[in-house]
Amino acid sequence: MENLTPIGKIIPKSSLEIKNSRLGIGFEKLDRDVFDPEKAYDKLSLVGVKWVRLQSGWQRTEREKGVYDFKWLDRVVDELIARGMRPWICLCYGNDLYTESAKQVFGAVGCPPIFTDEEKTAWANYVRATVRHFAGRVTHFEIWNEPDGKWCWKHGVSAEEYGRFARDTARAVREASDDAFIIGGAVCMIWDLAYIDTALSAGMAGNVDAISFHEYTADETALYTHVPALEALIRLHDPKIRLIQGESGSQSRSDGCGALAGGAWTPERQAKQCLRHGVADLSTDVLFSSYFSCMDMIEALNGRVGDKTSYLDYGYFGILGADFDENGFSSGEYSPKPSYYAYQNLCSVFAEDPEPCDLPVIRVTRPSARLLGNDYTDTLSLHGFRKPNGSYALAYWAPTPLLTTTIETTVSFRAAGLPEKMSLVDLMDGTIYDVSEFVEKTGSGIIIKNIPAKDYPMLLTFGEFID
């Protein structure tokens, strides 16, 4: 980038400054009380996220049968709302007051209340109480988490069971609020269309407003086939159902536990994955997208009560890094990683919901003095966006394997019909560059020659796309 002239920096926007956005973040596992949210609220607001996913914590809330103590969750919800964020609640997990197997499971994770009438009645009562309690503050409620994973449906994954459970839970939500937006699915295996098809047929279809999916992958291009296939399947059952990307992220260290564990992850690669996946999500029709997560914390999906070693399995998904005490509790001052600043840039630039669109831009190949040869000729990810003010942007990157390949190269484009004012934005560090010396007019069109391309999104803007 040293051959470009910097002309400015992206100005971060807090969540209070942003009215609408499809970008959110995960604030999960407070149901198991594994980190102190007080030190995270302000840092999270300064990222500019709008949607924040919480888990309701049945076991933490109902410790005496029929008595609900929401004070812990009230505090979280109110602190987020006060800073301009919009909480949405995943209704989960089990409760050892009603389910015997939950007594052995840390946080009652993966113990659905589906076997006895007492379990079912207690769960429905809890769901209605939760929805009524948060009326006017929370409108979006999700039914369980990753029921297609054995860690969250521990007795054995069953799409039919979940479909019926989603149906009954949705009815309880609707009894408490006609206005609630109900989310089913939360599936972690989006490619398993048969599971989703069966769950829809078993009762989820006709009872939910959206289906959420989780997409943990180092290759964001999978979205380009998985999401359209899922959309097509849903249309067969209920065309009114929307899609939500409910969890996506990566580790920042190679020794993390949980999804994508064991890969050669670094803080820089995590930031690249965050940007690549975020832009890919925004190019789809998802209602909103959630990055997992706000901070490093234990995974504890297979934790056993009385066996601390079973849940001291640290995941390094956070855009905020944390230390850990002897009990696995996230401590310290929660330090921003490169992914924090990258996501902050993304939230600022894509505030107020620019729409995905096709652009009159064609990639061309030209001789590049920078490369002592020709422009990069392999596959390039290209996504267009427009704002109501008549400005446009082209996000582009080389979708190379993140864990093995680093790319800094050049690309060229031919364009016509777009605003003349142009700039190039590095979403990683927020620098805005002048590109006028790289533009050649050709009749009514232009050629943009040999501008930098990397293995994370660069943004070529036309008009006043950046404030």
- Residue 418 near residue 411 (C-beta atoms within 8 A): no
d(CA 252, CA 128): 39
pLDDT confidence tier of residue 302, bands split at 50, 70 and 90: confident
Mean pLDDT of the chain: 96
Q: Which two tokens stand for residue 307?
A: 């066996």
* Poorest-pLDDT segment among 109-113, 306-310, 408-412: 306-310
- This prediction has a pTM of 0.97
CA-based nearest residue to 397, from 432, 427, 358, 362: 427
Q: Which helix (H) or strand (E) holds 440?
A: strand 439-442
Q: Is residue 372 part of a domain?
A: yes
d(CA 367, CA 169): 61
d(CA 377, CA 395): 17
Residue 382 phi/psi, 5-degree rounding, is: -130, 130
Give the range of the structural domain holding residue 450, as residue numbers without chain letter.
354-462
Last residue of a domain, one of 292, 317, 349: 349
Q: Is residue 81 part of a domain?
A: yes
Q: Is residue 467 part of a domain?
A: no
pLDDT confidence tier of residue 220, bands split at 50, 70 and 90: very high
> Which pLDDT score, from 0 to 100, does residue 3 have?
81
d(CA 464, CA 354): 12
Give tens-digit pLDDT for 160-219. 999 999 999 999 999 999 999 999 999 999 999 999 999 999 999 999 999 999 999 999
- 69 and 118 share a domain? yes
**Angle, CA 167 vertex, CA 164 and CA 170 arms, to 5°:** 145
Question: Could you count the other beta carbons within 10 Å of the beta carbon of residue 370?
Answer: 14
Q: What is the spatial order of strands in the sheet that 5-9 belongs to?
A: 5-9, 431-434, 422-426, 458-462, 392-397, 381-386, 355-357
Strands 439-442 and 297-298: unpaired
Task: Kindly report the CATH number assigned to the domain that includes residue 446.
Answer: 2.60.40
- 272 and 163 share a domain? yes
Task: Kindly report the CATH number assigned to the domain that includes residue 323.
Answer: 3.20.20.80
CA-based nearest residue to 85, from 111, 52, 59, 63: 52
pLDDT confidence tier of residue 1, bands split at 50, 70 and 90: low
> Which pLDDT score, from 0 to 100, does residue 311 have?
87
User: Which segments of 134-158 does DSSP mark as H helices, in order?
Assistant: none
- Residue 47 near residue 313 (C-beta atoms within 8 A): no
Q: Is residue 175 part of a domain?
A: yes
Q: Is residue 27 part of a domain?
A: yes
Q: Is residue 3 part of a domain?
A: no
Last residue of a domain, one of 299, 316, 349: 349
DSSP string, 23-64: EEEE-TTGGGT-B-GGGTHHHHHHHT--EEEEE--HHHH-SB
> Which pLDDT score, from 0 to 100, does residue 340 have?
98
Give tens-digit pLDDT for 99-118. 999 999 999 999 999 999 99
User: Which segments of 247-297 does DSSP mark as H helices, in order?
Assistant: 267-282
Q: Is residue 76 part of a domain?
A: yes
Cβ neighbours for 253, distance < 8 A, ≥ 6 positions apart: 265, 266, 316
Cis bond leading into 392, ω under 30°? no
Helix axes 159-176, 117-133, angle to 10 degrees: 40
> Which pLDDT score, from 0 to 100, does residue 226 have?
94
The residue whose two tokens read 């399995």 is: 313
Cβ neighbours for 307, distance < 8 A, ≥ 6 positions apart: none
Last residue of a domain, one of 312, 332, 349: 349
Cis bond leading into 250, ω under 30°? no
The mean per-residue pLDDT over the stretch 323-339 comes to 95
- Residue 146 near residue 186 (C-beta atoms within 8 A): yes
By residue count, the chain amounts to: 467
pLDDT confidence tier of residue 421, bands split at 50, 70 and 90: very high
Give tens-digit pLDDT for 44-57. 999 999 999 999 99
> Which pLDDT score, from 0 to 100, does residue 300 have?
86
pLDDT confidence tier of residue 467, bands split at 50, 70 and 90: confident
- 299 and 366 share a domain? no
- 362 and 442 share a domain? yes
- 200 and 109 share a domain? yes
Question: Could you count the other beta carbons within 10 Å of the beta carbon of residue 379?
Answer: 10
- 54 and 123 share a domain? yes
- Residue 23 near residue 346 (C-beta atoms within 8 A): yes
Query: In this structure, is the dihedral angle defined by the CA atoms of residues 215, 273, 357 and 18, taken in order, positive or negative?
Result: positive
CA-based nearest residue to 41, from 365, 320, 252, 349: 320
d(CA 185, CA 403): 30
**Angle, CA 130 vertex, CA 128 and CA 136 arms, to 5°:** 105
- Which amino acid, residue 48? G
Cβ burial, residue 393 (10 Å; 0-12/13-18/19+)? buried
- 344 and 386 share a domain? no
Cβ neighbours for 236, distance < 8 A, ≥ 6 positions apart: none
Q: Is residue 69 part of a domain?
A: yes
